[in-house]
Amino acid sequence: DWPLWRRGRFIHNHEHGSYTVGRHLSAHESMIYPPLACILWFGFSPWNDAMRKRKLQIGPTLSEASKHGGMGTHHIVTPERLEGWYKELARGTKDLRFNDAYRYVFV
């Protein structure tokens, strides 16, 4: 239920990223990468207690103004909901070592 799970990634070598609040978007122009370009996101890895604590520590620090403005509300999550997100995302993962298009990366 959070649209940012499926978003593009911004790779740049600009002096400044020109990010919007939360660093989820940038004012810099986007480009489409070649079909076999591969960006691996490890947002829930390794899935251990330290990572869970890191994910859960952000929500309590949000200001009331941010919450009221709808910014960062995806960080306001219970441990149970966070675990649910992890399991939901894990179901959609694939082992790229067995994908013909990406096997060359692992040789």
pLDDT computed for residue 86 by the predictor: 93
Enumerate the β-bridge partners of residue 19. 26
* pLDDT tens track for 13-62: 788 888 877 777 788 887 777 777 777 778 899 999 999 999 999 999 99
Pick left, alpha or beta for residue 29 (phi over 0 → left; psi -120 to 50 → alpha; otherwise beta): beta
| Distance (Å, whole) CA 69 – CA 11 | 27
Give the pLDDT band of residue 9 (cuts 50, 70, 90): low
| Domain span at 49 | 3-106
The tally of CA atoms less than 13 A away on the side-chain side of residue 98 is 3
- For the chain, the domain total comes to 1
Tokens of 52: 């869970």
Decide: 24 and 8 in contact? Cβ < 8 Å: no
pLDDT computed for residue 81 by the predictor: 94
* pLDDT tens track for 68-79: 988 888 889 999
* pLDDT tens track for 84-98: 999 998 888 888 899
Residue 1 has pLDDT above 70, yes or no: no
User: What amino acid is encoded at 71 in this protein?
Assistant: M
